[in-house]
Amino acid sequence: IAGITQAPTSQILAAGRRMTLRCTQDMRHNAMYWYRQDLGLGLRLIHYSNTAGTTGKGEVPDGYSVSRANTDDFPLTLASAVPSQTSVYFCASSAESSYNSPLHFGNGTRLTVT
């Protein structure tokens, strides 16, 4: 089934450790996004990529980095995790050939930083 695969599903991480959340899509979408979901705040954009080789900062980029080496993969890295990064992380993609294309989301990664 075409879609977005995120890994891991959940993770408990000690503060100060480095972590990479993986995201792969097989829909050949140009644009990809990382959001975090926190209670009472909805989904907030961390980083995005309009096409392979380019990335941009969203609303809450501090403490996170991304890369987009190819169309399919868009990993999110926490260089040194802090407890405030405890959240549910969603990767998404869209076919930016149309402005009105909706986002397709993965099932999320639940991250707990202790």
Partner 1 sequence: DQQVKQNSPSLSVQEGRISILNCDYTNSMFDYFLWYKKYPAEGPTFLISISSIKDKNEDGRFTVFLNKSAKHLSLHIVPSQPGDSAVYFCAAKVDYKLSFGAGTTVTVRA
The binding site for partner 1 (CB under 8 A) comprises: 4, 31, 33, 35, 40-45, 48, 50, 58-59, 90, 92, 96, 99-100, 102-108
Burial class (CB in 10 A: 0-12, 13-18, 19+), 87: buried
d(CA 73, CA 55): 12
d(CA 29, CA 40): 30
Residue among 43 and 52 whose Cβ is closer to partner 1: 43
Q: How far is the CB of 39 from partner 1 (least distance, A)?
A: 8
Residue among 18 and 96 whose Cβ is closer to partner 1: 96
- The residue assigned the tokens 């991250």 is 111
Q: How far is the CB of 77 from partner 1 (least distance, A)?
A: 20
Q: How far is the CB of 17 from partner 1 (least distance, A)?
A: 25
Residue among 14 and 42 whose Cβ is closer to partner 1: 42
Give the per-residue SS3 of 48-79: EECCCCCCEECCCCCCEEECCCCCCECCEEEC
Residue among 5 and 80 whose Cβ is closer to partner 1: 5
